[in-house]
Amino acid sequence: MTPDDPKQRLILPFFLLTLLLILVCAVLTLTQGRFATGLADLPTALLDRAEVTDTGFAVRQLRLPRAVMAVLAGAALGVAGALMQAITRNPLADPGLTGVTAGAAFAVVLGFTLLGVSQAGLLVLGTVGGALSGALTFALAAQRGFNPAHLILAGVAVAAFCLSGINVLLLLGATSMNSAWFWLVGGLANRTWQDVGHLWPMVLPVLVLVWLTSRRLDLLLLDDDTSRGIGLHAGRWRLIFGLCSVVLTAGCVATCGPIGFIGLLAPHVARMGLGGAVSHRLLIPASALAGAAILSVADALAASRLIFPTEIPTGIPAILIGAGMFLLLFRNGLRVGR
Amino acid sequence: MSSPIRILLSALLVGLALPVSAQDIFAEVRDDRGEVVQIAQQPQRVASLGVFGADMMLALGKSAVGTTTYNGQLPAYLGARPDTMADLGIEPQPNLERLTELQPDLIIGIRRYTEPWADSFAPIAPYIAYDMLTEADSTRAVSSVAVALGAVGTGEKLNAEFEQMKAQMAEQAPGGVSAVFVWLWQDTLYAYYDHVMPASFFSPLKVRNTMGSNPTPELPENFGGPVSYEDILAQDPDVLIVFRAEGNAYPDHPALRRLRAVREGRAWHVGYQYSQPAGPVARKIILQEMAHLLYPDVFADPALPDQVRAEPLRFEN
């Protein structure tokens, strides 16, 4: 891309616009709730370190971690989606394709219904479950040299196995199906600093690692023979980036439940916002911001009670927004790769 | 022909005209599906899909031959052991093979779970199903099942005793208390509206249910909804009653610890009977215990086995 490239002119507006959207949604999240909080009350509430008032407690302990989680999880899912689309060379790939989403959800449901694992334990169990499912998918795909088609097939099989396991556990377990369903749709309500503390150590280092090595993602879009010709070990890098996607996704599912569509949509929104195919050096941060913005908007909508009189799981507006934007993208023609 | 002879002949003709099966019917009841179910002989082997049937048998001093369970766990208040009452699997998908083996002569089920299996039950035994969500449902089911079990009049008696107990408690209850009944699943709270048992007991006990009433009364099966922790903090009930399925982890959310009910030691984790409160035994012990939890100075702590009684809500850390 040259300085005169029209795409160059779109970079700054796209990044500023997504940041602004995230900020607006964060303010909405911080001011919405049962304890009335105007914009003017926000600084006082945020500085109420002793949490003397319920408003101070609600803003600091309930709404702020929720807004932070939307950014962290959205960014993680956005980047995980970009990684999966690159390593499978498939524009319809999303992080769930490795079976990690279903695996993490299965582990959480298992921990809750049968093992009686604590909230903190569930976060660890969900992450481990997702990572194991992802690892199983990659182990199966490794037998065929990490061929993208076989990776997808292995992921579909692992995901199907885990999803059927969830159904069995819900039928056997001593649980209210309604409440279980609420969690399985995915959401950010009731998240705490404990969840943030679990997620950020997994997300931030991986995002930095992926960004620093993102040129390899561009090369992975070439066919394997060409990659080999220029000295890139495509299978190894596919495994590394795949595992990065697994870690990002497993952490998100363990903390927020299986929120759909963000990982699939965010890279496409980033490409559309940046005017088309761009290097992964740009696409990775752009996907992170797009994912964070989409999830922030979805969560602000979920908490606003504009759609239903009661709060709904974030996963529902996320899917509604995702489906609408995806149709728009289809009309403009999906682009794979960069 | 003289009048007595004419009457005698008429009676004889009517008797001959009746089908044999009608003469053999032991009981006939209409269940909540609207089905009129005929029971040929007094049931001796009752299979309970859901706890209600087993509860009803206990109220009559008998025992069901089998009941559905939560993951193999029998409700402690029934005092039943797995070797005396067979595990029939889970309510939405009862174990039909096990059910057949038991050779029941009556199957009693919760309508919303078991109705899809009605055709499968037909070759096994007569099947009756009830809604069992509201107090009116409970009253109707107790009367109807008592007739099916041959305890005509006992259902009305059990209902009258319960209504009398409720009325006495209503007289004694001082009021001025708010409470909410919630299910806890992972970190999701699910609160009951006031038309559904056991939250419906708040009303006679002069307790304000902070969750309020069903916003869609045309859909009585809308028995509750998820509440955010900010909602429950804003409601800040005096008493918090939590159903947490056995074996599940204890909660660990900062908003729960901030609730007045928790700080003042008025948050309770209650037993299995609260999840299926429609039976005559369950509803009675729930009402007695709830009255005590809501007004400990007015109502005595009911004598319940340790496995059945409410415990102070515990936290993970």
pLDDT in tens, A36-56: 888 888 888 888 888 888 899
pLDDT at B22 over 60: no
Tell me if A171 and B90 make a contact (CB, 8 A cut-off). Answer: yes
Task: Dump pLDDT digits (tens) for B232-249.
Answer: 999 999 999 998 766 666
CB A234 within 8 A of CB A224: yes
Instruction: Decide which of A337 and A264 is more confident.
Output: A264
User: Is pLDDT of A174 > 60?
Assistant: no
Task: Please give the tally of structural domains in chain B.
Answer: 2
Closest by Cα among A184, A333, A181 to A271:
A333
Q: What is the mean pLDDT of chain B?
A: 87
Q: Which runs of E-coded beta strand occur in chain B? A: 27-30, 36-39, 46-49, 66-67, 86-87, 89-90, 93-94, 106-110, 127-130, 177-185, 188-192, 207-209, 224-227, 239-243, 267-270, 311-312
Do B234 and A311 lie within an 8 Å CB cutoff?
Answer: no
- Model confidence band, residue A277 (pLDDT cutoffs 50, 70, 90): confident
Please indicate, yes or no, whether residues B141 and B190 belong to a single structural domain of this protein. Answer: no
Q: How does pLDDT run across A191-240, given as a tens digit for each residue?
A: 899 999 999 999 999 999 999 999 999 988 887 777 777 777 888 888 89
For A199, the token pair is 């997620």
Distance in Å, alpha carbon of A108 to nearest chain B alpha carbon: 9
Cβ distance of A175 and B250 shorter than 8 Å = no
Chain B residue with minimal CA distance to A303? Answer: B228
Strand partners, B129: B109
Span B185-232, pLDDT tens digits = 767 788 999 999 999 999 999 999 999 998 888 877 788 888 889 999
Same domain, B186 and B103: no
pLDDT confidence bin for A333, thresholds 50/70/90 = low
- Asked if residue B178 and residue B113 are part of one domain, the reply reads no
Q: Cβ–Cβ of B185/A180 closer than 8 Å?
A: yes
Q: What residues of B are in contact with residue A61 (Cβ under 8 Å)? A: 254-255
B143 and B194 in a common domain: no
Residues B188 and B233 in one domain: yes
B81: left (phi over 0), alpha (psi -120 to 50) or beta: beta
Q: Is A91 on the interface with B (CB under 8 A)?
A: no
- B6 inside domain: no
CA distance B300 to B57: 27
Cis preceding-peptide flag for B198 (omega within 30 of 0): yes
**Is this complex's ipTM strictly greater than 0.85?**
no
How far from the centroid of its chain's Cα atoms is residue B58's Cα? 13
**Are B147 and B176 in a shared domain?**
no
Instruction: Identify the pLDDT of residue B18.
Output: 46
For B109, phi and psi rounded to 5 degrees? -135, 165
In a domain, B8, yes or no: no
The reply to whether B283 falls in a domain is yes
Residue in B187, B231, B249 closest to A34 by CB: B231
Copy the structure tokens of residue A140: 């199966």
Q: Do the Cβ atoms of B178 and B208 come closer than 8 Å?
A: yes
Please choose, from the candidates A284, A334, A338, A295, the residue with its C-alpha nearest in 3D space to the C-alpha of residue A317: A295
Query: Is residue B165 one of the residues assigned to a domain?
Result: no
Is residue A168 over pLDDT 90? no
B9 half-sphere exposure, CB direction, 13 A CA radius: 6
Do B73 and A114 lie within an 8 Å CB cutoff?
no
Q: Which two tokens stand for residue B197?
A: 């048992």
- Measured distance CA(B229)–CA(B189) in Å, rounded: 8
pLDDT of the residue at B16: 46
Residues in chain B closer than 8 A to A33 (CB atoms):
228, 230
Rounded Cα gap, residues B256 and A48, in angstroms: 19
B109 and B234 housed in the same domain: no
Contacts of A331 (CB under 8 A, 6+ apart): none
Same structural domain, B57 and B133? yes
A90 reaches B (C-beta below 8 A): no
Same domain? For B230 and B292 the reply is: yes
Asked if residue B109 and residue B49 are part of one domain, the reply reads yes
Q: Are residues B303 and B206 in the same domain?
A: yes
Q: Do A310 and B245 touch (CB under 8 A)?
A: no
User: Smallest Cβ distance to B230: which of A35, A114, A116?
Assistant: A35
Q: Are residues B26 and B119 in the same domain?
A: yes
The rounded distance, in Å, linking the Cα atoms of A314 and A318 is: 6
Closest to A250 measured CA to CA, from A73, A66, A37, A62? A73
Beta carbons of B234 and A118 less than 8 Å apart: no
Distances A158 to A100, A110, A145, A180 between C-alpha atoms, Å? 8, 16, 18, 22
Residue B109: Cβ within 10 Å count:
27
Domain-located, residue B146: yes
d(CA B175, CA A283): 62
Domain that holds residue B289: 172-312
Three-state DSSP state, B313: coil
Q: Would B9 be classed as within a structural domain?
A: no
B15: which residues sit within 8 A by CB, 6+ positions away?
none
List of domains in chain A:
74-332 (1.10.3470.10)
Are A126 and A107 in contact, with CB atoms under 8 Å apart? yes
Nearest to B151 by CA among B22, B57, B13: B57
Residue B20 above 50 pLDDT?
no
- For residue A61, the distance in angstroms to the closest alpha carbon of chain B comes to 8
Residue B275 is classified by DSSP as: G
pLDDT more than 90, % of chain A: 42
Q: What CATH number should be reported for the domain holding residue B206?
A: 3.40.50.1980
If you measure CA to CA, which chain A residue comes closest to B260? A54
Q: What is the least distance, in Å, from the CA of A190 to any CA of chain B?
A: 6
Alpha helices in B173-241 (DSSP H): 229-235
Residue B163 lies in a domain: no
